């Protein structure tokens, strides 16, 4: 039997975020890193497959090409419905990439309509009257207005998406969603008759997402953050079960790698430092000056892993980030840090780290590729949107890894994650 749901995620942490919600709703999920070569020749032992791309901030044409390759692979695996997953803060620019990828997938699937909703109430992301809120403030008043690559200054998603697409963008507002799936389908029919191709859907609660999930049953394509995933598995008869999240028992040393500059991750780094735990700061200016920062970090690791977890971080305040970018350039600064943290991750695994927390989407992508990870089995949730995962290593060991979006998790996430792994998986 082919997979039921085929998912295309535009970054690595977003992929695990989506997979986590599907697992919690009862689906067995495999996450693949990039598009496997060739087609799906062997049936996968999974109900849903999530293909993690690194396409959020690449040129729009590259994002489209990668997404279409992922679509072709998922269709070869028998996917009955396609889910394009983006960030719950709708990270994008007027050039894309959410709009161009959505339209390319619609064209390839031959569908004239889809929905868009980044809502994820469990993490404070809600959509009301088409406006995206982060906690109690509009997106444009949140920390996302300072994002170095995709600053979000317009909270009106109909406007934001309309600037990126050739199709008309409409709205399914909360009064419709609140009346249930049939009302949403009726509104969908109205919008289609009006020539609307994409509809932003309000959602202010998990109940709204469940209603939307039922309403989009049968649509070839849905686009959303990870929240909509809680409402889809029931369309195939799945119900929550602990068996969907089973992983092998953990072992080895513990470490944290943090490259995110988000407000939430800044708090997590500060909490870790306040607790007096071992930590090494990765300074992009020292890297640019030619210092062997990765070598220094690994020497630090050798002295402290037995007292772990050990943190390796380049997290900074928005002001400090702007200072570095003014000296090195935004792209160069980010790439220097990503390459260094990826080398650190390789060295940590070589030194026996088998439980690894990675914070930040770009950092997660760099680490996963450096470690040669091609697939992940999704396990139990640490915090909303963030699960533990497992992947085999050469020689028979298992690496337990979590890829955390910079915006997710409470202040004590770094230490809480290891406690949960002991409790839920050991």
Q: Can you read off the two tokens belonging to residue 406?
A: 């910079």
Burial of 39 (0-12, 13-18, 19+ CB in 10 A): exposed
Distance CA 416, CA 140 (A): 30
State how beta strands 48-52 and 398-404 pair.
Answer: unpaired
How far is residue 147's CA from residue 164's CA, in Å, rounded to a whole number? 19
* pLDDT tens-digit profile, the chain (426 residues): 579 999 999 988 889 889 999 999 999 999 999 999 887 767 788 999 999 998 999 999 999 999 999 999 999 999 999 999 999 999 999 999 999 999 999 999 999 999 999 999 998 999 999 999 999 999 999 989 988 789 999 999 999 999 999 999 999 999 999 999 999 999 999 999 999 999 999 999 999 999 999 999 999 999 999 999 999 999 999 999 998 999 999 999 999 999 988 889 999 999 999 999 999 999 888 888 889 999 999 999 999 999 889 999 986 656 665 666 666 665 676 788 899 999 999 999 999 999 999 998 889 889 999 999 999 999 999 998 899 999 999 889 999 999 998 888 999 999 999 999 999 886
Any bridge partners for residue 402, and if so which?
357
Tokens of 220: 């070839």
Residues 23 and 27: their CA atoms lie apart, in Å, by 5
Whether a cis peptide bond, with omega within 30° of 0, leads into 97 is yes
**CA 401, CA 409: separation in Å to the nearest integer?**
15
Distance CA 122, CA 125 (A): 7
Give the residue ranges of DSSP H helices in 247-384: 263-274, 284-288, 293-304, 318-328, 330-350, 361-370
Pair of tokens at residue 143: 């920390």
Taking the alpha carbons at both ends of the chain, their separation in whole angstroms is 32
CA-based nearest residue to 265, from 140, 57, 405, 86: 405
Pairing outcome for strands 114-117 and 81-85: unpaired
- What angle do the packed helices 330-350 and 361-370 form, to 10 degrees? 50
- For residue 107, report the phi and psi dihedrals to the nearest 5 degrees: -60, -45
Instruction: Give which of 336, 248, 253 is closest to 292, Cα–Cα.
Output: 336
Q: What predicted TM-score, i.e. pTM, was given to this entire model?
A: 0.82
Query: Which residues contact residue 295 at a Cβ distance below 8 angstroms, ignoring those fewer than 6 apart?
Result: none
- The CB density around residue 127, as the number of other CB atoms within 10 Å, is 32
């Amino acid at each position: 039997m082919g997979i039921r749901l085929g998912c295309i995620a535009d970054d690595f942490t977003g992929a695990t975020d989506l997979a986590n919600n599907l697992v919690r709703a009862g689906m067995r999920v495999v996450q693949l890193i990039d598009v496997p070569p060739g087609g799906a020749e062997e049936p996968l032992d999974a109900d849903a497959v999530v293909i993690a791309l690194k396409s959020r901030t690449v040129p729009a044409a590259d994002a489209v090409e990668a997404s279409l390759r992922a679509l072709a692979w998922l269709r070869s695996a028998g996917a009955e419905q396609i889910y394009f997953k983006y960030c719950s803060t709708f990270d994008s620019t007027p050039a894309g990439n959410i709009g161009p990828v959505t339209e390319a997938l619609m064209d390839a699937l031959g569908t004239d309509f889809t929905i868009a909703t980044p809502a994820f109430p469990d993490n404070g992301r809600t959509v009301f009257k088409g406006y995206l809120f982060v906690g109690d403030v509009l997106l444009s008043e949140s920390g996302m207005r300072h994002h170095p690559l995709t600053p979000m200054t317009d909270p009106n998603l109909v406007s934001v998406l309309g600037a990126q697409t050739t199709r008309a963008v409409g709205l399914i507002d909360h009064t419709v969603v609140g009346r249930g799936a049939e009302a949403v389908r009726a509104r969908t029919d109205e919008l289609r008759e009006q020539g609307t191709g994409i509809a932003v859907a309000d959602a202010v609660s998990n109940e709204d997402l469940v209603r939307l999930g039922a309403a989009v049953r049968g649509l070839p394509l849905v686009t959303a953050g990870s929240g909509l995933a809680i409402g889809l598995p029931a369309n195939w008869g799945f119900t929550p079960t602990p068996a969907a999240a089973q992983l092998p028992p953990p072992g080895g040393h513990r470490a944290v790698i943090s490259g995110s500059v988000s407000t939430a991750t800044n708090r997590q780094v500060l909490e870790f430092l306040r607790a007096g735990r071992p930590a090494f700061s990765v300074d992009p200016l020292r890297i640019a000056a030619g210092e062997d920062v990765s070598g220094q970090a690994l020497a630090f690791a050798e002295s402290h892993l037995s007292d772990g977890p050990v943190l390796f971080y380049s997290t900074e305040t928005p002001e400090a980030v702007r200072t570095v970018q003014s000296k090195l350039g935004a792209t160069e600064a980010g790439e220097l840090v990503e390459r260094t943290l990826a080398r650190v991750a390789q060295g940590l695994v070589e030194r026996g780290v088998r439980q690894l927390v990675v914070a930040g989407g770009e950092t997660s992508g760099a680490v996963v590729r450096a470690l040669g990870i091609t697939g992940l089995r999704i396990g139990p949730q640490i915090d909303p949107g963030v699960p533990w995962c497992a992947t085999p290593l050469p020689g028979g060991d298992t690496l337990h890894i979590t890829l955390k979006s910079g915006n997710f998790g409470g202040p004590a996430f770094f230490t809480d994650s290891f406690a949960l792994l002991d409790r839920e998986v050991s």
